[in-house]
């Protein structure tokens, strides 16, 4: 992972502005361009996020949550899978600590995501990193990692990231408000949520081109299916851990196989 404080391709004045952590301003075309590219890069995945937002909104209202609580939760929590995981607990009048723990564990994959992206954001202010993290999501993180994997580091990574985040945040929230307000008119049997699944699938498939990633994804999928009924969504965590381990093992074997013919000759 590249972690340079002064990325290549920066003029002296640009480097000064870059280190000064200038906010998005109208007189900085470079920042605006990165922000705009973030918006356009995330848009293809947004039909999935919108469908998921609507379904989450509908689910919150249909589980008996009052309109105002559903709106408050949707806008502040900003965590679709955690919100859906918590709904049955709220319905059963579960203790609050169980709600907190379930939300935390459903969100645990973001700890691994943020570990994967943290090296790219060490030179921004703490406050900015808090917001970058809070506003991120599955689509945003994978799109960002895909870009830095192809292009390496670039200037105004935060502007690019914010461009994606804000698009995702606005569309997801508009969609969940539509779902909350229109819950009575949107039948749950339409299967709208499947569009969200397909959008995530569209992110997974291209990542599986390398064999270690394919092996990791397959084992993660198997464990997630087997462990879906485990308490506190622990099956999900087991799936990610086992998937990563398998990917690393296949990676190591591939390296060894590639190295050995040369070693013998």
Q: Are 186 and 58 in contact (CB under 8 A)?
A: yes
Selected from 21, 30, 40, 64, the binder of other proteins by CB under 8 A is: 64
Does residue number 230 form part of the binding site for other proteins (CB under 8 A)? Answer: no
Does residue number 263 form part of the binding site for other proteins (CB under 8 A)? Answer: no
Does residue number 148 form part of the binding site for other proteins (CB under 8 A)? Answer: no
Does residue number 172 form part of the binding site for other proteins (CB under 8 A)? Answer: no
Selected from 39, 45, 58, 183, the binder of other proteins by CB under 8 A is: 45
143-180 burial code (b ≥16 CB/10 A, e <16): bbeebbeeeebbbbbbbbbbbbbbbbbebbbebbbbbb
Q: Cβ of residue 13: shortest distance to other proteins, in angstroms?
A: 26
Q: Are 51 and 197 in contact (CB under 8 A)?
A: no
- Interaction residues for other proteins, span 186-215 (CB under 8 A): 189, 191, 193-195, 197-208, 212-213
Selected from 35, 78, 162, 169, the binder of other proteins by CB under 8 A is: 78
Number of residues that bind other proteins (CB under 8 A): 95
Q: Which two tokens stand for residue 240?
A: 């990610």
Tell me the C-alpha distance between 188 and 58, whole Å.
8
Looking at residue 78, the DSSP 8-state letter turns out to be -
Selected from 129, 177, 178, 181, the binder of other proteins by CB under 8 A is: 129
């Amino acid at each position: 992972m590249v972690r340079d404080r002064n990325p290549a391709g920066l003029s002296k004045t640009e480097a000064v502005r870059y280190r000064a952590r200038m906010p998005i301003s109208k007189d900085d075309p470079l920042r605006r361009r990165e922000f705009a590219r973030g918006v356009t890069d995330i848009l293809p995945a947004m039909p999935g996020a919108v469908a998921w937002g609507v379904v989450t909104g509908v689910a919150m209202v249909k589980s008996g949550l009052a309109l105002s609580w559903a709106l408050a939760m949707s806008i502040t929590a900003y965590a679709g899978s955690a919100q859906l995981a918590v709904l049955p607990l709220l319905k059963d009048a579960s203790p609050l600590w169980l709600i907190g723990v379930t939300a935390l564990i459903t969100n645990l994959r973001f700890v691994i995501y943020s570990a994967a992206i943290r090296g790219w954001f060490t030179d921004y202010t703490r406050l900015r990193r808090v917001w970058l993290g809070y506003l991120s999501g599955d689509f945003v993180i994978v799109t960002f990692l895909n870009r830095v994997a192809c292009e390496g580091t670039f200037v105004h990574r935060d502007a690019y990231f914010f461009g994606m985040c804000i698009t995702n945040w606005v569309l997801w929230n508009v969609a969940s408000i539509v779902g909350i307000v229109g819950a009575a008119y949107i039948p749950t049997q339409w299967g709208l949520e499947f569009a969200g699944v397909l959008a995530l699938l569209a992110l997974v498939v291209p990542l599986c081109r390398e064999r270690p990633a394919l092996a990791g994804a397959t084992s993660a999928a198997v464990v997630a299916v087997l462990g879906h009924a485990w308490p506190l969504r622990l099956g999900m965590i087991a799936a990610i851990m086992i998937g990563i381990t398998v990917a690393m093992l296949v990676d190591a074997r591939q390296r060894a196989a590639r190295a050995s013919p040369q070693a013998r000759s």
